[in-house]
A = this chain, B = another copy of it.
Amino acid sequence: MTDPEFDLDQFLPYLLNQAAEATSRGFQPVYAAYGMTRTQWRVLANLGRFGAMTATAICAASHVEKTKVSRAVTALEGQGLLQRAPDPQDGRAEVLRLTDTGRAVFAALGQEARQHDQALRDRLGGAAGPLEAALRRLIAGA
C-alpha cells in the first residue's frame, strides 16, 4: 500500500510559517513607521527589556544571527536609538544601551505591541495558553 500523498497544508512548519507571517505582518507597519526593520525592532525590544547588554547576549536571548544583530545595531545607533560603550571586562565586546530617545520609542512600540498581542489572544480565546505552551516546547526542543 502506498502512503497517502503529502499534504503541505498539514505540515506543521508550513502552518507555523503562515501563522507567523500573518500575525507579524499586522504589526510591521507600526515599527516601519519608525523606519525600523523587524530585526531592529527585536534588538530594541531586547535592550528595552534587559537594559545594557552585549550583542552576543542579544543573539543568545533572541536566537538571531550575529550578522543580523550587528547590522541592526549599526542602524539603531545611526538613528540615535542606542549607544555603544566599550566593555570594561572584555576588550572585544561592546555594551549596548538605549538612549533616552530609544527608550521612548521602545515605550511607544511596546505599548502598541501589547495591544496587538492582546487582540490576537482575544481572537484565540482559551486556545492562547495552550498555543503558547506548544510554541515554547517547539522552540526549546529545536
Identical copies in the complex: 2
Q: How far is the CB of A141 from chain B (nearest CB, A)?
A: 5
Task: Say which size band chain A's interface belongs to.
Answer: 35 or more
Q: How far, in angstroms, from A23 to B134 measured CA to CA in the complex? A: 12
Main SS of the interface on chain A? helix
Across the interface, which residues of B come within 8 angstroms of A62, CB to CB? 8
Across the interface, which residues of B come within 8 angstroms of A9, CB to CB? 49
Given A19-B139, A63-B18, A138-B22, verify A45-B127 contact (CB < 8 Å): no
- CB <8 Å contact, A141 and B123: yes
- CB <8 Å contact, B6 and A110: yes
Chain A positions 15-32 with a Cβ under 8 Å from a chain B Cβ? 15-27
Across the interface, which residues of B come within 8 angstroms of A21, CB to CB? 63
7 contacts between A and B (CB under 8 A): A6-B106, A7-B49, A12-B121, A21-B63, A22-B139, A120-B138, A123-B138
